[in-house]
């Protein structure tokens, strides 16, 4: 569904991602793992159109979208849950969800919101509450829900578990499983390799913007020390 070919991307003269190639299959979870500064966020921001592509190609369903503006990528079926959630804190949960569906026909808003609430019932109880007053876990649910309002075929989630309590992480990962079962592809950025390997079909380890290992999650689960070694986390 998604293919990166020798993708290089960055900020001005700085290159954060170097010649990265990978492929995300339909209805699958692909995990990008690595330490801070490895280039994970820059990769998905480049796919979304927020970071300059300096070389290589981004393809969606076999079509080159490297030069498409952000809104066109959203209309093609790409949605992003950014690191730190980046909600509109002064606006209500309802309004944040409405904004997430801006690329969809307005007549679909109620139906799409109902789908989100069915996945995250807590949000249904807080529709009129300001997003900035939600707990961290609820804010992450809202950030995912906002992206889902666009009815994406490819959902990119940046650091889904960062700063969350275990119970909230469980809820978010359960939602990702349900999305995969419903045919949505998920590109997951995660520092917690253990959680990522629970759900992923394929894994790519990044270091300094380069892929140092790629393979099936099954292979990685059989030898988690290998992944930790590539990430510099192995015990000496």
pTM of this structure: 0.90
DSSP helix/strand/coil, 8: strand
Max CA distance (Å), the chain: 58
> What is the mean pLDDT of the segment spanning 32-36?
88
Residues 211/20, Cβ–Cβ less than 8 Å = yes
**Could you give the angle at which helices 109-119 and 136-148 cross, rounded to 10 degrees?**
140
Return the pLDDT at 63.
Answer: 95
Q: Round to whole Å and give the CA distance between 161 and 190.
A: 7
Quick: pLDDT tens for 60-118. 999 999 999 999 999 999 999 988 778 988 999 999 999 998 777 777 888 999 999 99
């Amino acid at each position: 569904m998604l293919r990166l070919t020798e993708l290089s991307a960055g900020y001005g003269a700085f290159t954060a991602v170097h010649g990265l190639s990978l492929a995300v299959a339909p209805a699958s979870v692909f995990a990008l793992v690595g330490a801070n500064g490895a280039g994970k966020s820059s990769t998905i921001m480049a796919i979304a159109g927020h970071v300059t592509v300096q070389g290589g190609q981004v393809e969606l369903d076999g079509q080159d979208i490297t030069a498409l503006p952000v809104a066109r990528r959203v209309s093609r079926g790409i949605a992003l849950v950014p690191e730190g959630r980046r909600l509109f804190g002064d606006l209500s949960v309802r309004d944040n969800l409405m904004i997430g569906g801006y690329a969809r026909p307005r007549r679909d808003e109620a139906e799409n919101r109902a789908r989100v609430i069915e996945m995250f019932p807590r949000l249904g109880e807080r529709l009129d509450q300001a997003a900035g007053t939600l707990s961290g876990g609820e804010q992450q649910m809202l950030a995912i829900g906002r992206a889902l309002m666009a009815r994406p075929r490819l959902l990119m989630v940046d650091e889904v578990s960062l700063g969350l309590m275990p119970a909230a992480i469980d809820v978010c990962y359960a939602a990702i499983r349900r999305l995969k079962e419903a045919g949505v592809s998920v590109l997951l950025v995660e520092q917690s390799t253990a959680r990522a390997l629970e759900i992923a079909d394929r894994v790519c380890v990044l270091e300094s913007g380069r892929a140092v290992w790629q393979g099936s999650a099954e292979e990685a689960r059989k030898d988690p020390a290998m992944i930790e070694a590539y990430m510099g986390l192995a015990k000496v």
